[in-house]
Amino acid sequence: MAVETLAEHACFGGVQGFYRHDSTVIGLPMRFGVYTPPRALAGPVPVLTFLAGLTCTEETFAIKAGAQRVAAELGLMLVTPDTSPRNTGVDGADAAWDFGTAAGFYLDATQAPWATHWRMESWLMHELPSLLAARFPVRPGAQGLFGHSMGGHGALTLALRHAGRFASVSAFAPICAPTQCPWGVKAFSGYLGDDRAAWAAHDAVELIKSGARVPPLLVDQGEADKFLAEQLKPELLQAACSATGQPLTLRRHAGYDHGYFFIASLVADHLRHHAQALRP
């Protein structure tokens, strides 16, 4: 699979790059970022993928989180996929900020007109990893996954749906129970239709209740997050994990909101959480 280099920048001894490829799964060009740490010059390194939130792109985390310095120290490759297909020509794709473009919810849509191109789970779980393995010095079997908001939902649900795939998982302010919040109901109704059983298969709380498990979770949540009560509902994740024995460290932080100042303040903790699990 050919990869087009859009830009590469020297960064803390490594390279922050942005790339594009023609996705067979999605049927359109897809963009992603990769931070390759200096340790990769000596051999393959673990891969940590970050899934961004609503309205974001493959550049958002790479530019705003300040993660490269610690990733360089720990020898972690950081991968930042885009959040949806773009320039799809689908009517209504750009009508709302929380559905359609930049709002892929990290699932494969089943409903027209979205099912043709909105196949984010297949891209992330199958096509993109193969491309990365062919193009970058990744260590086989050493994968971690984390994300923010919609991307936190994606990190939790993809890890739960693909047991054993990820050695480490974490999230910042994730949408924990999308079947029970306005963002999730809107997205699932459009992408998956009216079958709530299909919705539950993409809801972290429901997956944990049904027996799905992942490595010990680290979740950080700001107490000043304006979306906390209506959209995020970490208390439901905490209750599900407590009831089923899924290890969870849920940390609440006074004064922090939903934005990237929150992520930048805590990203080093998450990188170290993943690096410990991804050691040879």
Catalytic residues: 149, 225, 258
DSSP string, 122-135: HIIIIIHHHHHHHH
Query: How many C-beta atoms surround the C-beta of residue 121 within 10 A?
Result: 21
Helix (H, G, I), strand (E, B) or coil at 270: helix
What lies within 8 Å, CB to CB, of 170 at 6+ separation is: 144, 146, 155, 217, 218, 219, 220, 270, 273, 274
254: left (phi over 0), alpha (psi -120 to 50) or beta: beta
CA 272 to chain CA mean position, Å: 17
CA 49 to chain CA mean position, Å: 7
Rounded Cα distance, 257 and 245, in Å: 29
What lies within 8 Å, CB to CB, of 140 at 6+ separation is: 44, 133
Beta strands 45-51 and 138-148, pairing class = parallel
- Structural element, H or E, at residue 17: strand 14-22
From the number of C-beta atoms within 10 Å of its C-beta (0-12, 13-18, 19+), residue 193 rates as: middle
What φ, ψ does residue 211 adopt, rounded to 5°? 115, -5
